[in-house]
Structure 1
Amino acid sequence: MPNERLRAVMAAGGWTHTRLAEVTGVDPKSVERWVNLGRTPRRVTALKAAETLGEDVHALWPSLRQARAARAVSPELVALYDKRADLPVSVFVDLLAEARERIDVLVYAAVFLHEAYPRLNDLLRERAAEGCAVRIALGDADSTNVQQRGAEEKFGHGIESRCRLALMHYRPLLGVAGIEVRTHGTTLYNSLYRADDQVLVNAHVWGVNAYGAPVWHLRRHTDGGMFDTYTDSFSAVWETARPVEG
């Protein structure tokens, strides 16, 4: 589809394809494509052309506004899911199975993992045996924050029971080389499932059970990015957590 706005501006100013091409440093055929085929030039070139023509760059090429908005999305975002329930448990399991250096899990309970994948402990043992450091942080069932979460989610003492159940599931791993299990009483803003440079973040929404809240999948891209923000929060919680006695 022709770029009628660009065509009209060039005609009004007496600009030929060749002349605009010379100013912007491109081939005249490129300018022809901008006009006749509605192609969008690179942002730097578009800015130079718009300035030369005395026009707003987004008025000439509205798609550049969309492209700029798209780049605002973190390069670390792999996928975004509306609800944790939308993810097959295999997504979590496969992620953990790929880990070679580190597995970190920060939750209150997350018993859905053991319930849907009974071999989870075997998987963690295998990863640890291969040199992977495994850290599991579970909610302290007697902590004020866990009990408060139960009230907020209208789950009552159920969440406390699930914290105890989760600890029961992980107890067989106590004493296994390379695996640590601790309990924490912090406010859990997000549940984290990390495997090396990837992490699944299950956001927590007031009054909503974790399975009904969003999940984003991140892959580390650069220092200080979203991935580091969440893994740093894990480290901070881990320092406050208490080791589970065997």
Structure 2
Amino acid sequence: MANERLRAAMVAGGWTQARLAEATGVDPKSVERWVNLGRVPRRHTALRAAEALREDVHTLWPALRQVRSARAVSAELVALYDQRADVPASLFVNLFAAAHERIDILVYAAVFLHEAYPRLNDLLVERAESGCAVRIAVGDADSDNVRQRGEEERFGHGIESRCRLALMHYRPLLATPGIELRTHGTTLYNSIYRADEDMVVNAHVWGVNAYGAPVWHLRRTLDNGLFDTYSNSFDSVWQAGRPVEG
């Protein structure tokens, strides 16, 4: 697609493709591609051209505004999903199955896990018996924050019921050494599912049910990065949680 903004700026200033090429230190064929094919030059070249034309570089090449403002994708980001409903249940199952050291789950309810994979408890028991530490924190159905979330998501008392259902699902796991279960009444900004150095984070959006909110799959590749930020968040909630007795 032709760059009509650039073409108009050149015509207004009496610039030929050869003259602009000389001013920016490129081949005239490059300028031709900028104009007729809509190619975007390198930033430093675009800045020289915009200065010569006395135009704003982002007016001539709007795509450079996006490049300039966009942060490099984190090395820890494995995948980004528009909503949790797009995440295959197999992702959670495979990550948990591959864990050797720890599994951490921080949710209000997340009963979708048991619904999608009825053998979840068996899997967690197998991992614990292999030496994997398992910590699960579910929402306290009687907490104000859980009730507030239900109102915000227009879930009514449904979310409180789901918290109780989640507790019912996980309680039998207390018979297995290495598995701990707690309830928490914190504001849940993100649901966290950790398996060793992999983590699935379900961000929460006001007024949107968790299944409709975005998810990112992180893998720990550095100290004090995104992964550690969420890991530290889990630890803080865990410390504030109340142990569930068997």
TM-score (norm 2): 0.75
Alignment of 1:62-211 (within 5 A): 62-68=62-68, 71=70, 75=74, 76=77, 78-82=79-83, 84-85=84-85, 87-129=87-129, 132-150=132-150, 153-156=154-157, 158-174=158-174, 176-195=176-195, 196-203=197-204, 205-206=206-207, 209-211=209-211
- The 1:204–1:5 alpha-carbon spacing in structure 2 relative to 1, beyond 3 Å, is closer
Letter in 2 for 1:245: E
1:142 Cα offset (Å): 3.8
Q: Deviations over 1:17-58 (max 9, x none)?
A: 3x5445434444323322333211122221222113221112
Contact 1:191/1:204 (8 A) holds in 2: no
Q: Deviations over 1:148-175 (max 9, x none)?
A: 545664533x544433332232233325
Measured in 2, the distance between the counterparts of 1:6 and 1:147 equals: 56
1:215 maps to: 214
Structure 2 unaligned segments of length 5 or more: list them: none
Percentage of identical aligned residues: 66
1:50 maps to: 50
Measured in 1, the distance between the counterparts of 2:8 and 2:161 equals: 71
- The 1:4–1:169 alpha-carbon spacing in structure 2 relative to 1, beyond 3 Å, is closer
SS in 2 for 1:35: helix
Decide which moves more: 31-40 or 8-17.
8-17
Measured in 2, the distance between the counterparts of 1:143 and 1:186 equals: 8
Alignment of 1:31-42 (within 5 A): 31-42=31-42
Measured in 1, the distance between the counterparts of 2:227 and 2:235 equals: 13
Contact 2:95/2:198 (8 A) holds in 1: no
- The 1:126–1:25 alpha-carbon spacing in structure 2 relative to 1, beyond 3 Å, is farther
SS in 1 for 2:118: coil
Aligned positions, number: 240
Structure 1 unaligned segments of length 5 or more: list them: none
